[in-house]
């Protein structure tokens, strides 16, 4: 929870406001981002040896995103950018942790500003889907779908997201079980395969 979040956590109505996010790198010049390094994703990549080697080499920054602290009320919208950097752990592309929404039946939209990748999605019942991110493409994540952004390109994957502010994030089941599928590079191209760690 950011200081900004705490300052805004009241039931007072929000005043109109605007935030800048760069179309070049996705970053704001006025708001702090939340950063996720590889060490925060222990066990979430298939190749544990490649993971440990990368941690020793310097624990790379995998992605960053924004939480602007919009109060978690049902009429509010949370929004911001997410930037997933290019790279791989073994042959598995850099990705976000991914999450369900705590209010499971709440949707989200992601609009791709730069880079290329996939939005990997799945429901608790086992339906899954992957939609391509390319600049200009908006991806609709329906309610009930866990979602994870994956950078399959060579540039930062920059997306802008917006969802119901009270939806909440449930990382727990993803951190322990993973997604049913992972995205790896095979012959220079992304391929979706079964997650060998999924239980």
- C-beta of residue 140 within 8 angstroms of C-beta of residue 109: yes
Q: How far apart are CA 98 and CA 46, in angstroms?
A: 15
- Among the listed ranges 21-29, 43-51, 100-108, 123-131, the one in contact with Ni ion (CB under 5 A) is 100-108
- Region for residue 58 given its phi and psi (left: phi exceeds 0; alpha: psi -120 to 50; beta: otherwise): left
What is the x/- site pattern for Ni ion, positions 106-135, by CB under 5 A? --x---------------------------
> Within 13 Å of residue 127, how many CA atoms lie on the same side as its CB?
6
Q: Is 2 or 91 the residue whose CB approaches Ni ion more closely?
A: 2
CB-based closest residue to Ni ion: 108
**Residue 51 CB neighbour total at 10 angstroms:** 20
DSSP 111-176: EEEES-EEEEEE-TTS-EEEEEE-TT-EEEE-TT-EEEEEE-SSS-EEEEEEEETT---B-HHHHH
- How far apart (Å, rounded) are the C-alpha atoms in residues 142 and 181? 18
**Which of residues 46 and 81 has its CB atom nearest to Ni ion in the complex?**
81
- Minimum gap (Å) between residue 1 Cβ and Ni ion: 17
Binding piece for Ni ion, criterion CB under 5 A, among 57-65, 71-79, 103-111, 177-185: 103-111
Select 108 or 122, whichever has its Cβ closest to Ni ion: 108
Of the candidate spans 38-46, 50-58, 75-83, 102-110, the one that interacts with Ni ion by CB under 5 A turns out to be 102-110
DSSP 3-state of 187: coil
Of the two residues 55 and 162, which places its CB atom closer to Ni ion in the complex? 162
Nearer to Ni ion, 64 or 108 (CB): 108
Q: Which is nearer to Ni ion, 96 or 116 (CB)?
A: 96
Q: Nearest distance from residue 147's CB to Ni ion, in Å?
A: 6
| 58 secondary structure, DSSP code | T
From the CB of 106, what's the least distance to Ni ion, in Å?
8
CB 142 → Ni ion: shortest distance, Å?
A: 11
Bridge partners, 118 (sequence order): 132, 150
* Number of residues in contact with Ni ion under rule CB under 5 A: 1
Name the site residues for Ni ion (rule: CB under 5 A). Answer: 108
């Amino acid at each position: 929870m950011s200081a900004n979040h705490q300052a805004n956590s009241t039931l007072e109505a929000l005043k109109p406001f605007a935030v800048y996010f760069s179309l070049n790198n996705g970053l704001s010049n006025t708001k702090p981002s939340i950063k996720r390094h590889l060490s925060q994703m222990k066990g979430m990549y298939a190749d544990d040896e490649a993971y440990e080697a990368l941690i020793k080499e310097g624990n790379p920054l995998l992605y960053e995103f924004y939480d602007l602290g919009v109060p978690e009320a049902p009429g509010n919208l949370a929004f911001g950018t997410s930037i997933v950097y290019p790279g791989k752990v073994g042959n598995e592309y850099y990705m976000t942790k991914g999450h369900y929404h705590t209010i499971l039946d709440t949707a989200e939209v992601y609009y791709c500003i730069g880079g290329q990748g996939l939005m990997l999605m799945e429901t608790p019942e086992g339906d899954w889907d992957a939609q391509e991110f390319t600049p200009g493409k908006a991806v609709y994540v329906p309610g009930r779908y866990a979602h994870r952004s994956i950078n399959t390109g060579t540039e930062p994957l920059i997306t802008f997201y917006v969802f119901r502010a009270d939806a909440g994030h449930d990382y727990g089941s993803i951190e322990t079980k993973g997604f049913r599928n992972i995205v790896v590079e095979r012959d220079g191209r992304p391929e979706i395969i079964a997650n060998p760690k999924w239980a």
